[in-house]
Structure 1
């Protein structure tokens, strides 16, 4: 387990002001604290820069990932779970408590395809579950040297899943980056905000989560 739980402060903005374009270009993002201290504890390669930001307006939690990457890997665009699972993506996991029974996973690729599922301890995944469609918006954009994934999640849905307690949310923030190996196959490198201190890559463990503090 981590000796100290990482915290990220989510600043408050006025309601219905931030526009989700997929580019992360709304001026209100200047009000957010940039989170950049990501690591890949299981891989010695230098990883490309990731900047994560979050804001909230009492109705929605807004998030933005900007990933420096000039070689984005994406599987065929057929919207299948396997395709998204084998593509470069960013991930947000939410848990009500340390038991991880259950927790909620959002994995989003550079084409804004969402692999959402509910999970239980020991990597017991239910892909028939999905985040309520009216409670989540995700858009993305890609340019020569980076991609951005931007979205919003309703505060009501977070409350419905018992994810907000005393203005705090327990969250895992991750990225999967695929590189072509010597055998020609693409293999993932796993990147995380919180080092779970595991021998092999594992985000589906209590020690991989930090805390978002919703600032009033």
Structure 2
């Protein structure tokens, strides 16, 4: 499995504002190994970073995008589902029973849900509000998303293994306008799941986040 190293920082030294500009982000490894195995067009730059302290896992995305597509119908999960976004899936083991999905658009709106094998989705579920913080920002050329996830909740969901690893899928959906005027997504992933058609909801789409000195 692909592995990303999550460096440890001192507790209570990190804050997020949606701009990925806190000096501590310089201590994070930059992950930019993303591709779209099912499309021929090149993928614009995506930078993923993660850090953690005793209390919190911090995650950030910096995405190059000068043509954002945001469904502004309302603030429902469905509107997020029709918008450019980044995605973080977390699982307790390879059986995907269950796994937890966070899909976040440039407005910091989140589509959060639990899932089980064979695309059994529970959209009525929400990540505990006291255990997550989300901030975002966008410019003419980029959008940024930052997440702060409480370690206690990750532990309660059995998402941190004894060896300090978290099995995660890291994804992006980019909506492009077609000749007929409709918008269709290009699916972008860190780990190539080796599927014939785009598919993130499969065990082979996950890698590992390794918490250093856990």
Aligned to 1:185: 182
CA distance in 2, matches of 1:129, 1:202: 22
Paired positions, count: 212
Aligned to 1:131: 127
CA distance in 1, matches of 2:98, 2:73: 29
Whether 1:28 aligns to 2:24 is yes
| Regions of 4+ moved over 6 Å | none
Aligned to 1:213: 210
Aligned to 2:149: 153
Aligned to 2:168: 171
Aligned to 2:40: 44
Partner SS for 1:207: helix
Match of 2:50 among 48, 54, 70: 54
CA distance in 1, matches of 2:9, 2:200: 30
Whether 1:116 aligns to 2:112 is yes
How far does the alpha carbon of each residue in 1:141-190 deviate from its partner, in whole angstroms, 9 at most, with x for none? 00110000011000000000000012110000000000001111000000
Match of 1:10 among 6, 9, 26: 6
Shift in Å, 1:19: 1.2
Shift in Å, 1:79: 1.0
Whether 1:107 aligns to 2:103 is yes
Shift in Å, 1:62: 0.1
Partner SS for 1:83: helix
**Root-mean-square deviation (CA), in Å?**
0.6
CA distance in 2, matches of 1:183, 1:58: 50
Aligned to 2:201: 204
Where structure 1 has 5 or more consecutive residues not aligned to the other structure, the ranges are: none
TM-score by length of 1: 0.97
Aligned to 1:162: 158
